[in-house]
Chains A and B, each alone.
Chain A
């Protein structure tokens, strides 16, 4: 026996915590379509049994767009197989997960170029013409 995973302990993985979140996402999609309102679900605040977070991620699946952000550690921003439903994972500089969210939106705010950064970049480019 080489690893903890090989210890023959069968843990029931269904604790009923995944379905209510899928239902919340369903309602959030209605709000996005009807009222143009975005919803963010902070997964850190919800109780998950072993394997349930993976089950939720698997249920949402992988869509056609993945973005990587390198700012104060890496972040992965991925659209799920349900358009408008995004899976966002923030890591710190030690590559530890510090935030995990489901965002129901057309485009997560963090992907948009920010005015402060645009201004700083414009200033750098402008220096070439001084």
Chain B
């Protein structure tokens, strides 16, 4: 196996001072949403960490996730790729192509057997493997072959995590998520359309720092970033509590920056870190720009009704389901009433 230097050695070779290293650790703690009191432990762990090999597979996707990651500021993606991780295979970013690229993937798998990370963006078509192939290899074959020797798999974006847009009704390609196929390796879901770049880099940094995947929620998402709803952390929450809502996109409430709940905001049912981590180097997030949250980090968000329908109209579970439930409720009521009458009749007879 090739010698893999520790991060401490890499920084030392670059002439980074101890102060610079402490600064790096402070921003890493911030990135991992860990308390600043953890910085000394992080410093020790990072200093001795060896950079992991990463294989990135792109299937049915739009490259938006890679676009998002390459705009990540902390640590810079250049730093992440060249210093913190060894990105051995990535269709879009690598110079090699065709057989040369596939050879690089196999070499990385052999050299780092049992230790490398597989990152996947995009869903996998199962209706016909020919819908999406790379170097003549179907997506499902490439995924299953590559994860065999992996330490863990990270599903980047809502397509890889939950099926995403390709998996939306009527799902013409039979698209499935990574966790639908990979059952014998730890799978971390980092959903979002696209995911927040800092959350992607944080998962990699967590693995680099502590050699393990972060604590996950029931959908396989890192709790540090998906533990609270957008609504929980929204700066407009006080307006919700006060009952101050924008009714249209150009009324006085919208101009005053009031709550967007009635304009379809999915913040109350969406778990993500946009409200605190924010986008574009911490500039803002959709609600701060005056647009409701679409709920893009939740499973099957494309099929959950209109983006501009308020949650109170039965968005999650859809109007049709709510209407169906109402009809079922009536029907159950009829059945219950009939049963009650039968019981009454029986008792009347017995009496």
Residues of A within 8 A of B (CB): 9-12, 15-17, 40, 42, 44-50, 52, 69, 71-72, 75, 90, 92-94, 96-99, 101, 109-110, 114-117
Contact = CB atoms under 8 A, between A and B. Distances in A.
A69 B36 contact: no
Contacts of A17: 235
A11 B257 contact: yes
B234 A69 contact: no
Given A42-B30, A93-B76, A110-B22, A71 B236 contact: no
A17 B238 CA distance: 10
B109 interface: no
Nearest to A71: B20
Contact of B235 (A48, A92, A117): A48
Contacts of A50: 235, 257, 284, 288
A83 to B, nearest CB: 21
29 contacts: A12-B257, A17-B235, A40-B36, A42-B29, A42-B30, A42-B35, A44-B276, A45-B276, A47-B233, A47-B234, A47-B275, A47-B276, A49-B257, A50-B257, A50-B284, A92-B74, A96-B73, A96-B281, A97-B281, A97-B282, A98-B74, A99-B26, A101-B30, A110-B19, A114-B18, A114-B19, A114-B22, A116-B18, A117-B17
Contact of B23 (A15, A75, A116): A75
A115 B23 CA distance: 16
A90 B27 CA distance: 8
Nearest to B280: A96
Interface string B69-85: 00001111000000000
B282 A47 contact: no
B177 to A, nearest CB: 29
B134 interface: no
Interface string B221-239: 0000000000001111110
B242 to A, nearest CB: 11
Interface in B17-41: 17-20, 22-24, 26-27, 29-30, 33, 35-37
A11 B288 CA distance: 10
A17 B236 CA distance: 10
A50 B235 CA distance: 9
Contacts of B19: 69, 71, 110, 114, 117
B263 interface: no
Contact of B277 (A12, A44, A109): A44
Contact of A72 (B23, B35, B238, B282): B23
A54 B351 CA distance: 81
A56 to B, nearest CB: 13
A40 B37 contact: yes
Contacts of A110: 19, 22-23, 26
A89 B98 CA distance: 45
A9 B258 CA distance: 12
